[in-house]
């Protein structure tokens, strides 16, 4: 780089090092995802089982027959499968938003067991409500997290309120 300003060369080198370091951190987090804390009860239903971290991510991948670059994850079942929560953490917020958009688009095509009911705003985010498989379902983004709640209709309102508060 004949005639290049030494500060420009040093700056470019720092950018490359930072990008490499950032990629290594994200890659390590995807290879060893953390757990996400789950509420101990929702809608009056106690948490009866859960999987977190790598086990939860494996469950998500099997359910969807594809791999997601999740850096965290948890799945919880509440009293006799009357409710369930799945939470996946993406490396960045914009990736969580893209995943929610992809879920919405896929469900809108009609190739799923879920029927869209409505969309509504909560704290500046869109919450999608669905029906299917004998339960009410809700999914939304909370920062870098994607949350899905499946719950029996009798406790859906209180369970949703608690989940929206737990993951603002």
Output the pLDDT for position 20. 54
Tell me the average pLDDT across 26-46. Answer: 86
pTM: 0.83
Q: What is the pLDDT of residues 47-67, one digit of tens each?
A: 999 999 999 999 988 887 788
Alpha helices in the chain (DSSP H): 6-31, 53-64, 93-108, 156-166
| Helix/strand/coil percent split, the chain, to 5 | 40, 35, 25
Tokens representing 81? 């499968």
In terms of Cα–Cα distance, which of 59, 32, 80, 26 is closest to 148? 59
Q: What is the pLDDT of residues 101-132, one digit of tens each?
A: 999 999 999 888 999 999 999 999 999 999 99
* Number of other residues whose CB lies within 10 A of the CB of residue 82: 19
Structural Rg of the chain based on CA atoms: 19
Coil, strand, or helix at residue 168? coil
pLDDT at 19 exceeding the cut of 60: no
27 has pLDDT over 80? no
Report the distance separating Cα 39 and Cα 5, nearest Å.
Answer: 55
Best CA proximity match to 76, nearest among 151, 165, 134: 151
How many degrees, rounded to 5, is the angle at CA 83 between CA 82 and CA 85? Answer: 160
User: Which residue bears the tokens 């299917």?
Assistant: 132
The arrangement of secondary structure in 33-166, i.e. its CATH architecture, is 3-Layer(aba) Sandwich (3.40)
């Amino acid at each position: 780089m004949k005639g290049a300003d030494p500060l420009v060369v040093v700056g470019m080198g720092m950018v490359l090092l930072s990008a490499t370091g950032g990629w290594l951190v994200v890659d390590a987090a995807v290879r060893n995802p953390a757990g996400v804390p789950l509420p101990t009860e929702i809608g009056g239903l106690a948490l009866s089982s859960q999987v977190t971290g790598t086990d939860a991510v494996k469950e998500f991948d099997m359910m969807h027959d594809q791999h997601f670059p999740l850096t965290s994850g948890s799945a919880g079942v509440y009293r006799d499968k009357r409710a369930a929560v799945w939470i996946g953490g993406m490396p960045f917020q914009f990736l969580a938003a893209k995943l929610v958009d992809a879920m919405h688009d896929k469900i809108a095509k009609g190739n799923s067991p879920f029927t869209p009911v409505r969309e509504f705003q909560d704290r500046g985010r869109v919450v999608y409500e669905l029906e299917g498989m004998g339960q009410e379902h809700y999914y939304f983004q909370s920062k870098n997290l994607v949350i899905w709640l499946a719950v029996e209709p009798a406790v859906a309102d209180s369970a949703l309120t608690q989940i929206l508060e737990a993951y603002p």
